[in-house]
Chain A
Amino acid sequence: MSGKPRLTYCNGRGRMEPIRWLLAAAGVEFEEIFLETREQYEKLIKDGVLMFQQVPLVEIDGMKMVQTRAILSYIAGKYNLYGKDLKERALIDMYVEGITDLMQMILMFPFSPPEAKEKNLDSIKERATNRYFPVFEKVLKQHGQDFLVGNKFSWADVQLIEAILAVEEKIPAVLSGFPQLQAFKIRMSNMPTIKKFLQPGSPRKPPPDECYRETVLKIFRK
């Protein structure tokens, strides 16, 4: 028993990736168990380890935590990435939830039918450049600080840098109208814990490919 948090999920980004980002940003080492077969997943259910029969599962501090947001909130709270008071938490929550809506589009993208892919990509681009990125560009411009909330590194910053990089993978020039976000991206990428996470060999997972998509469908029979 190493005492490190233990993550159980498929060997890919999916709903676990924001959790990997947050733990990494907080400088917390973790272990991973990868689901590769349906049998493995069914065994977890039979063993009663998954409260609602779903992953992500994170074993942390004696708890078997499920539900992505519950896990993220716990980690943010534990490692002081959740603001200093209720009002800062409110801002962080609003920003994180908005970004999560954008990330949801990216999450579902590999599972959309081929004929819908171009339209979905356009939607991602439209939402990123018209609805979400302008908000954070303005926030950074208005307070002129390095971080989104309270002049201090928080969960909101981690979620935003993850989203920026994920959208850029699909739409490389997406930040071209957003100078503050470009500077934010460089600044966050250079923070020691995040820099380490962005290096090859880290627990960061690559973008979903056909193999990942098939594994997910096989295990969860969507």
Chain B
Amino acid sequence: MSGKPKLHYFNGRGRMESIRWLLAAAGVEFEECFLETKDDLTKLQKDGSLLFQQVPMVEIDGMKMVQSRAISNYIATKYNLYGKDLKERALIDMYVEAVIDLNELLMTHTFQPADKKEQHFATIVDKATNRYFPVFEKVLKDHGQDFLVGNRLSRADVQLLETLLMAEECKPDILVKFPLLQSFKARISNIPTIKKFLQPGSQRKPPLQEKDVPKLMKIFH
């Protein structure tokens, strides 16, 4: 029993990636147990480890936590990445929830049927550049600070960086109109724990390839 958090998921980003980011940003080492087959999932379900029979599941501090938001909330609070009071938490929550919405769009792109992909891509670019990025660009401009909330690193910064990088994977010049987000990206990427996570060989997962989708479907469907 190492005492380190243990993550149960398939070997890919999905709904576990934000949790990997948060742990890494907090400088917390973790272990991973990858589901490779449907039997792996069934075994976890049968031995009562999954409260609602779903992954992600993270073993941490004696708990078998499920539900990605519950897990992220716990980690963020435990490692002081959730603001100093209720009002800062409210701001962080608003920003994080929006980032999650954009993340969902980015994540589901690989699963789109061929005839819907182009339209979906257009939606991603539209929402990113018209709905979400302008808000964060303005937040940074208005207060002129290095971090989104309370002049201090929080989960909002970590999750925004994660999403900015994913959006760039989708369209490399997507930040062209957002100078403050570009410098935010550089700044947060240089934080030692995050810099380490962004290096090859870390536990950060690559984007899902189309060829991996059938294997994934076999585990979960």
> Chain A residues in contact with chain B, CB under 8 A?
51-53, 61, 63, 65-70, 73-74, 77-78, 86-87, 89-90, 93-94, 96-98, 101, 131-132, 135
Contacts and interface: CB of A to CB of B under 8 A. Distances in A.
Contact of B67 (A52, A68, A78, A93): A93
Contacts, number: 75
Interface of B: 51-53, 61, 63, 65-67, 69-70, 73-74, 77-78, 86-87, 89-90, 93-94, 96-98, 101, 131-132, 135
Interface centre among B52, B67, B69, B96 (most CB of A within 10 A): B52
Contacts of B73: 89-90, 93
Contacts of B135: 51-52
B89 A73 contact: yes
A92 B166 CA distance: 31
B90 A63 contact: yes
Nearest to B61: A87
Given A74-B90, A93-B70, A87 B63 contact: yes
Nearest to A127: B52
A15 to B, nearest CB: 12
Nearest to B130: A53
B67 A135 contact: no
Contacts of B67: 93-94, 97-98
Nearest to B52: A98
Nearest to A61: B87
A132 B94 contact: no
Give the interface SS of chain A, mostly helix, strand, loop or mixed. helix
Given A87-B61, A98-B66, 15 more contacts: A51-B94, A52-B132, A67-B98, A69-B69, A69-B93, A70-B90, A70-B94, A86-B78, A87-B63, A89-B77, A93-B74, A97-B67, A97-B70, A101-B52, A131-B52
Contact of A90 (B53, B74, B86, B98): B74
12 contacts: A51-B94, A52-B132, A67-B93, A67-B98, A68-B97, A70-B93, A77-B86, A78-B86, A87-B61, A87-B63, A93-B69, A98-B51
Pick from B51, B53, B74, B101 the residue with the most CB of A within 10 Å: B51
A191 to B, nearest CB: 24
Contact of A132 (B52, B65, B70, B89): B52
A131 B89 contact: no
Closest 7 CB pairs of A and B: A70-B93, A93-B70, A97-B67, A67-B97, A94-B70, A70-B94, A74-B90
B70 A65 contact: no
A74 B65 contact: no
